[in-house]
A = this chain, B = another copy of it.
Amino acid sequence: MSQNNVYTQEEGFSSSSFENFYTHFVQLTAQSGIRTSSKRESLLRALYSCESYLSAEEIYQVLHTEHHIRISLATIYKILTFFENLDVVSTVLTFPHKLKKYKLKRAVHHDHLLCLKCGTITRFYDATLEKIQEEILTTHHFKGTHHTLTLYGFCEKCQDE
């Protein structure tokens, strides 16, 4: 699924305004042949304006009552799943009603390579690695929030010297 690697080689969002955020989002997704849509933008905007987790229903309410945007719940679910595949949102399941809630990832996760000689830090992201870590969490009945992984070694330049 090509949707999975939109951010692979890219830096995360760190802009403070939604416009910057959205521009960045469009640039990245365009590379994968994904089209823009006003509904997706609205949904991103709703997520962007909220610091905590929102359910599909809550997003539906915000869009309808506050912004008078006509969008179906089914579409909201589709877009949220789409964002999840893009790794743009993180999710949690709530007790006791097992509602799934979504929150925007304002910065894209990445791991680090650190050179023990020159100290250079290189960022990287590997979807498979992330998936395996998720599976390990599941196997051990953990609910993960985040992680950091730093691979220590020597960079190409320092190996040569």
Contacts and interface: CB of A to CB of B under 8 A. Distances in A.
A99 B141 CA distance: 12
B93 A138 contact: no
B95 A138 contact: yes
A141 B53 contact: yes
A138 B100 CA distance: 13
Nearest to A99: B98
A113 interface: no
B92 A141 contact: yes
A53 B53 CA distance: 27
A92 B139 CA distance: 12
Contacts of A100: 98
Contacts of A101: 141
A147 interface: no
Contacts of A157: none
Contacts of A134: 95
A138 B143 CA distance: 13
Interface string A13-35: 00000000000000000000000
A94 interface: yes
Contacts of A93: 93, 95, 98
Contacts of A143: 92, 143
Query: Which of A52, A100, A143 has most B Cβ within 10 Å?
Result: A143
A89 to B, nearest CB: 14
Interface in A79-100: 92-95, 98, 100
Interface string A132-154: 00100010010100000000000
